[in-house]
Structure 1
Amino acid sequence: MPTNFPEHLRTQNCLVFSIAIIIVVLLSHGLQAQQPPEHNNTADASRDNKAFSPIEDSLASPRETMFTFLEAQSPALHGRPDALARAINTLDLSLVENRQSTDIINQLIGILNRIGEVTKTQLPDADEVIANGWRRFKYFPTASHNWIWTHLGHGPDGEIILEEIQGKWRFSASTIAGLDTLYRSMIDLPLTYTPQEEPDELIGLFGATFQKTRWWQWFALFLGILLGLVAGKLVAALLNNTSAQLQRNGRETQGMALKDISNPIGLTLLTFGLMVGLQFPHLDPGLQAFVGKIIQFLFILSLGWILFNLVDVVELALQKLTAKTETQIDDMMVPLIRKSLRIFLVIVFSLFVAQNVFGLNITGWLAGLGIAGLAVSLAAQDSVKNLFGSVTVVLDKTFLVGDFIRFDGEVGTVEEIGFRSTRIRLLSGHLVTVPNMKFIDNKVENIAARPYIRRQMDVTITYDTPPNKINEAVQIIKDILHTHEVVKDGRFDMDNNPPRVAFNELNADSLNIRAYYWYQMANDPDRGFFTYLQHAQLINTMLFQRFAEAGVEFAFPTQTLFLAGDPARKLAIEAQINKNGDETPRAYT
C-alpha cells in the first residue's frame, strides 16, 4: 500500500478495504449458492423425498447414508465446516491419503449426477437391512444401468458400494479409493439430473441474521469497529511520532522499523475490533464459520503487510553494508534483493492463505505451473528479455547506479536498475524508464566511466590582426594553459597529454586558434561535468582579460563595411591618391 498518503486517508483506506473484502466474499458465497458448480447438481436430489429425513445422521442403512451425503455435500463444497463433517462421516477414507475431501465429494456427486436421480426406493432402509442380514450393498452398477455400456461403448471402471462397519453404513473404502478411476471412465456421460435453482437461498443466508439480531447487537458491532479504528489510528500516530524521534537521533533503522509496522498494526486493531463486534449479531453456523475465515484472513494480511514493509529495513541494512565497499555492483544488487524478497513474500502469503484459510488445493496449482509456465513464457517474452537485459547490465558492468550516461539521445544519471527496467534522471529533472532489453542491442555511452574530459577550444580573432599579434595571441593561450592554477585544478598530465595550441585555420570571417586540453577525472566522485565547467570558466575569464590587455580582438560571424572616412582603415583608392599627390580620384575596374 502506498506510504505517501496522509495518515487519516490510510486509516480510512484500511477500513474500506477490510469491509469491502467481507462484503465481496459474502456475496460471492451467496452467489455460489445460487449457481452451484457442475458436480453439485444432486445437491437437492432429496426434494422429491421430503418425507424422508435422517435423524442425527444415524447412518443405520444405505438409504440414510446416501441421503445424508446428498443433503450435506452442497453446503460442504460452499465452505460450511459442519456440512463438510457430515459429508465426510459418510465416507470410509481408510485407504485414501493425501487427497482433499472436497475433491472426493466433487467426484462422487459428479458420478451420481450422471447415473440419474437418487430415490429412496433404490436403497434399502434399516428394516430391510436387518430383515435380509445385509452388511454390504451394491448401488452401482446394476442391471438398470446397462444403458451406460451403450452410450460409452464400455462399462464403468469401478463400483459404488456401501458397507456396514460397527453399525454405521458408509461408502466403502474400495469405492473411495477407486473413485478417481470411476469418475474418469464416466466423464463423457451427460448430466442426467439437474435440480431446480432456489433463488431465495442468498436471502435465506442472511434472513436469520436480520430477524434475530436486536438493535443493541448491531450497535455493539458498530462500536467494535469504531473502537478498533480509533485504537489503530492512535497507535499508528504514536509509532510514527516515535519513529520520527528515533530518526532525528540517528537511529534510522529502528525508526524505519516502527514506521513500517504502524499502518499494519492499525489494520490489526481494526480487525480485532471487528472480531469482537461480530460476537454480538446472530449468525448461523455456516455464516459464522465463513466470517471467521475472513477475520483470520485479515489477521494474516496484517502480518504479511508487516513483513512486506520490513523489507525496507533489510534494504537499509544492506545499503549501509554496501556503502563500506568501493565496488558499486553490490549497490546495484540491493534493489534487486528488495524486489525479490517482496515477490517471495507475496507468493508465500497467497499460497498460505489459499490452503490454510480457504482450504483450497494448491497441489493442483503447483502441478499446473509447468503448463502455465509455457503459456506465460510465450506471453511474456518481453519481460524475459528485460530480465536478461538486467543480468547483462550487471554482469557486463555496462553502467552502475549513480553513473552519468547518454542513451538514445538522452543524458542523465542512473537511479535504479530493476528486473524489468532502468530509471534514468535527466538533467531536466524528468525521470525516464527504459526497458532493460534495449540496452542489449543499442549503444550506451557511459560518461561517468571516462578518465578525462577533452576540451577542443576554438579562439577566433579578426582578419586585420597583424602577424605579431597572432603569435602573441597563441602564446597568451599557451601561457594560460600552463598556469599553475589551471594545471593544478585541471590535474593536467603534463608528461603524456600536455595542452596543445596552434594557429590552424583561416575561416571565412576569422582567424582560428585551436587549443586542446584534458581535464582529468581520475575516478574522483567529487569531480564531474559541473566542476569541469568551473575550470573552463576560469580559463575563459583569464583569456578575456589577457586579450584585452594585449589589444587582440575576438572575431565573430560578421560582414565588415569599410567607409572612406574611417581613419583606421583607409581605402586602397585613397592610399593611391596620397601616394601620387593627385587629388583627382581614379576609377579602378
Structure 2
Amino acid sequence: MGFGTDNRKTTWGKSIRLALAAGLLGLSGAQALAEDKPKDEPTETASPPSDPLERENPRNMQIGMMAAIGAQDDALLARYIETGIETGKASPEQAAEQARQFRLLLDKAGSIAQRLALPLAAEGALDDGLPPDEEKIGNLTAGGEEIPIIARRTEDDEGRKIWRVSAQTLAQALAAEPPPPPATEESPVDESQRKLVVLGAPLSSWVLLLGVGLTIFAAVVLLFRILYHRLAQQSEDGKPHPVAAIIYAMVPPATLMAIYQTISTIAEPLGMGLAERAAIARLSGIVVWAGATWLAWRLVAVAGDFISDRFRATGHAQRIGMTGFIIRSIRLLILAIAIAAFLATFGIDVTAGLAALGIGGLAFALGARQAVEDLIGGIALLLDRPVQVGDLCRIDGEVGRVDEIGLRSTRIRTRDRTILTIPNSQLSDSKIENLEKRDRFFVSQKVGVSYSAGAEGLARALEVLRSTLTEDPHYIPSICPIRLLGFTDGCFEIEIHAHLRCPSHSEGFLRQEALMLAVLRAFEHEGLEIAVPGRRLTMEPDSARAASGFPGFPPTPNPGKP
C-alpha cells in the first residue's frame, strides 16, 4: 500500500515539474518572439482608461445613478445625465440644477427597472426593440403622461463608451411638468432636520419598516405554530395530517414574502422618494427571494419526510436511501439558484463565475479528489443497491443495520448501538454481505439419541425428525435433509440439514426456533430422550485398581505368604 502511494506521489511530482518546465519554455518562446519583432512595426493604439463611475453597462450605470440620488449629490448625478456640460452648452452649475430638477421629479412619480432586468453587457440588450445604443431603465410620470427613462450609449471626451440618461428624456421630463424652484443659499436646510441615510433611505424608515414587518411576521407564525401543535395532539399517532404539515411549512416563508411585497407596494402612496422606494424594493426583492428559497427548502423537506414514511409503512424501507439522496440534490440546486440570484441583485455577474468553474474544474477535482470519490461511491451504492437503509449487513467483519446512505458516507448502526461511519469510496470497494436479502434460511442442527434407545429407537427418531420437518410449512424439500452422522462417545448423532423459506434474516431465526420446538415435542411424545455427546468417567479407589493389576500399580503383596 505504501509502495503504491509513493509511486503516485512520484508520478504527480514529475507531472508538476514537466508542466512547470513547459510553461517556462512557452514564456521563453513568447519573449524571444517579442524580442525578434521589428522595431519599426507600428504598435497598437492604447485603449481608453476605464470609467471610474462604472458606466460601461446599463446595470452598473443605474446603480451609480441611484447612489447619487440617495446621497442627493446633484453634481454627481449630472454625470449620469446628458446635460450638455460635455459640449459646453451648460455650465457645471446649470448641469447640477437640471439634475436636481430631474431628481425631484423622480422622487415624486418615478420608477426604475429591476437590476436583474438590466444587462451587464456593454452593448446592452439588443433584442428589446430599441436602437442598439439605447436601453430603457425606468419610467417617469410627469404632466399626466408616462415618459420612459432611456439611457443612451455615447462617447465621452476621453473616448470611453458610457451609458447616461439621454438628453431627450431629460428635456421631455422638464417640459412636461414645471420644474421646482431652484435651490437658494438663503434657505439652508437645518442640520437637525437632516436624516441619516442608509442604503439610499432614511434610517428611521428602515427601523419602522423592519420593525412592523418582523412584528407581523412573528405574530402570524406564532398563531400557526399553536394551531399546528393542536392538530398534532388531536391525531392518533401524534403527527399532524400531511396537509397540516404542508400548511405549516408554507406559512412562515409565505408570510414573510407577503409582508415585504406589501411594504414595497405601498411605499409610493406613502410619499417616499425614489431612492427610498428603490432601496425598499431591493430589500423586498432580496427578502422575497430568501422567502422563496426558504419555502422551497421546507416543502422539499416535508415531501421527503412524507415519502419516507410511506415507504416505511408499505415495507419499502430500502428506497429511503435514494429518496434522501434526491432530496439533498434538490436542496443543493435550490441553494445554488438562491446564491446566484442574490449575487445578481448586487450587480455581480454570475455567468463569469460559472465560466470560472470550467477553468477551475481540474484544480477542484485534484484538490477535492477524495470528496469526489466519496460522492461517486455514494451514487454507485444508490444505483447498484448492494445494501439499502434498514438492511442488516456484514462489512469487513462488522455486523450492523444500515442507518443512512449519504452523499459522502454511510452510517451503520452496530449491535452495540454505536454508529459506524464508512466513506462511500471505501464502502463501494469493500466486500458487503447483505444478511437481509435472502429467500431461504439454512438450518444446521445436531440431535443426539441415547445408546439406550437401541436400533429401534434410533429408527423411530429418524422417522420422527423426517415427518416433523416435512410437516413444517416453510420447509423446502431437498435430498437427505435428515442424516445419521455416526456414533459419538455418548450417543447416536443425527444432523438436520435443511432450508426454510423466509423473507428476512430475523424471520429465519424465528422459523428455526419453531422447527426445533416441534422436534422436541415430537421426541417427548414418542418417549425418546435427546442425549448430549459426552464421555463417562468412572472413579475407583486406588486399592481396587492395584488389585486388578492396573498399569502403574503393582499387585499388593500378601503378608501371609513368604
Structure-1-length-normalised TM-score: 0.53
Q: Which position in structure 2 is the counterpart of 1:389?
A: 377
Cross-structure match for 2:485: 502
CA distance in structure 1 between the aligned counterparts of 2:267 and 2:431, rounded to whole angstroms: 63
Q: CA deviation at 1:307?
A: 1.7
* 1:439 equivalenced with 2:462 (yes/no): no
Does the CA contact (< 8 Å) of 2:523 and 2:529 recur in 1?
A: no
Q: Distance in 1 between matches of 2:160 and 2:236?
A: 70
| Cross-structure match for 1:301 | 290
CA RMSD, 1 decimal: 5.8
Q: 2: distance between equivalents of 1:164 and 1:336? A: 50
Once the two structures are superposed, what CA deviation does each residue of 1:137-173 show, in whole Å capped at 9, x if it has no partner?
9744xxxxxxxxxxxxxxxxxx448999986899xxx
Instruction: Output the amino acid matched with 1:238.
Output: L
Describe how 1:165-180 pairs up with structure 2 within 5 A.
none
Q: Displacement of 1:437 after TM fit? A: 1.7
Structure 2 residue aligned with 1:359: 347
AA at the equivalent of 2:483: R
Partner of 1:515: 495
Of 405-414 and 489-498, deviating more is 489-498
Measure, in 1, the Cα distance between the counterparts of 2:460 and 2:91.
110
- AA aligned opposite 1:518: A
In structure 1, the residue matched to 2:476 is 493
Task: For 1:208 and 1:311, locate their aligned partners in 2 and report how far apart those are by CA, in whole Å.
Answer: 37
Q: 1:139 to 1:249 in 2, by over 3 A?
A: closer
Q: CA–CA distance in 2 between the matches of 1:493 and 1:343?
A: 50
Q: Secondary structure at the match of 1:373?
A: helix
Give unpaired runs (5+ residues) of structure 2. Answer: 1-48, 55-63, 65-73, 100-109, 114-120, 128-153, 171-194
Corresponding letter in the other structure for 2:539: F
Matches within 5 A, 1:196-215: 205=197, 213=204
Aligned to 1:531: 510
**CA positional deviation for 1:443:** 0.7
After superposition, residues 14-163 of structure 1 pair within 5 angstroms as 53=75, 59-62=83-86, 95-97=123-125, 139-140=157-158, 159-160=159-160
Compute the displacement of 1:305 (Å). Answer: 1.7
Q: Does structure 1 retain, via aligned residues, the 8 Å contact 2:392–2:400?
A: yes
Q: Distance in 1 between matches of 2:532 and 2:279?
A: 91
Instruction: Confirm or deny that 1:373 pairs with 2:352.
Output: no
Letter in 2 for 1:500: R
Q: What is the aligned counterpart of 2:230 among 241, 245, 248?
A: 241
Could you give the per-residue CA deviations for residues 26-84 of structure 1, whole angstroms, max 9, x where no partner exists? xxxxxxxxxxxx9897899xxxxxxx947965622228899899xx9xxxxxxxxx9x9
State the partner residue of 1:348: 337
| Matching of residues 3-18 of structure 1 within 5 Å | none
CA contact (8 A) 2:465 2:482 kept: yes
2:392–2:402 contact (8 Å) kept in structure 1: yes
1:562 maps onto 2:536 in alignment: no
Q: 1:229 to 1:572 in 2, by over 3 A?
A: same
Determine if the alignment matches structure 1 residue 457 to structure 2 residue 445.
yes
* 2:365 partner letter: S
Distance 1:550 1:321, change over 3 A: closer
Letter aligned with residue 377 of structure 1: A
- Change in CA separation of 1:323 and 1:473 when aligned onto 2, cut-off 3 Å: same
Candidates 428, 433, 453, aligned match of 2:416: 428
- 2 CA distance for matches of 1:213 and 1:494? 87
Higher strand share: 2
CA distance in 2, matches of 1:368, 1:584: 110
Judge conservation of contact 2:82–2:167 (CA < 8 Å) in 1. no
Aligned to 2:136: none
C-alpha distance in 1 between matches for 2:333 and 2:207: 40
CA distance in 2 between partners of 1:223 and 1:560 (Å): 94
Q: Deviations over 1:217-257 (max 9, x none)?
A: 96886465334312221123224534665786999432332
| Aligned with 1:232 (options 205, 208, 221) | 221
Q: Which residue of 1 aligns with 2:299?
A: 310
Instruction: Measure, in 2, the Cα distance between the counterparts of 1:138 and 1:270.
Output: 44
What SS does the aligned partner of 1:437 have? helix
Q: d(CA) in 1 for partners of 2:282 and 2:166?
A: 35
Q: Is the 8 A contact 1:499 1:517 kept in 2?
A: yes
Is 2:438–2:505's contact at 8 Å kept on the other side of the alignment? no
- Work out the CA distance in 2 between the residues paired with 1:571 and 1:457: 42
> What is the CA-CA distance between 1:445 and the residue it aligns to?
0.8
Q: Structure 1: which 5+ runs fail to align?
A: 1-37, 45-51, 73-81, 86-92, 100-135, 141-158, 171-202
Q: State the 1:371 CA deviation.
A: 1.5
1:175 maps to what in 2? none
| AA in 2 matched with 1:515 | E
CA distance in 2, matches of 1:442, 1:240: 46
Amino acid aligned to 2:83: L
- Structure 2 residue aligned with 1:21: none
- What is the aligned partner in structure 2 of residue 448 from structure 1? 436
Measured in 1, the distance between the counterparts of 2:295 and 2:434 equals 39
Shift in alpha-carbon separation, 1:246–1:336, aligned structure 2, 3 A = same
Q: 1:167 to 1:386 in 2, by over 3 A?
A: closer
Which structure has the highest helix share of the two?
A: 1
Does the 8 Å CA contact 1:456/1:514 hold for their aligned counterparts?
Answer: no
- In percent, how many aligned pairs have the same letter? 18
Identify the residue that residue 117 of structure 2 maps to in structure 1: none
Q: Say whether the 8 Å CA contact 1:237–1:262 is kept in structure 2.
A: no
Query: What amino acid is aligned across from residue 334 of structure 2 in structure 1?
Result: L
Structure 2 residue aligned with 1:481: 465
In 1, Cα distance between equivalents of 2:366 and 2:85? 55
Check the 8 A contact 1:386/1:421 in 2, yes or no.
Answer: yes
Q: Which residue pairs with 1:261 in the alignment?
A: 250
Match of 1:8 in 2: none
Distance between the aligned counterparts of 1:66 and 1:477, measured in 2? 122
Q: How many residues align?
A: 415
SS of the residue 2:476 aligns to: coil
Q: Report the Cα distance in structure 1 between the residues aligned to 2:230 and 2:271, rounded to whole angstroms.
A: 40
Secondary structure at the aligned position of 1:310 is classed as: helix
- In structure 2, relative to structure 1, the CA distance for the partners of 1:554 and 1:504 (3 Å cut) is closer
Query: Could you tell me whether the CA contact under 8 Å between 1:220 and 1:277 is conserved in 2?
Result: no
- In 1, distance between residues paired with 2:415 and 2:275? 62
TM superposition shift of 1:492: 2.6
Say which SS state the counterpart of residue 495 (structure 1) adopts: coil
Cα deviation, residue 378, structure 1:
1.9
**Counterpart amino acid of 1:494?**
P
Q: CA deviation at 1:346?
A: 2.0
CA distance in 2 between partners of 1:164 and 1:299 (Å): 30
Residues 61 and 240 from structure 1, CA distance in 2 versus in 1: closer, same or farther, beyond 3 angstroms? same
Tell me how far apart the structure 2 counterparts of residues 294 and 446 of structure 1 sit (CA, whole Å): 54
Instruction: Measure how far apart 1:287 and its partner are.
Output: 7.1
Match of 2:22 in 1: none
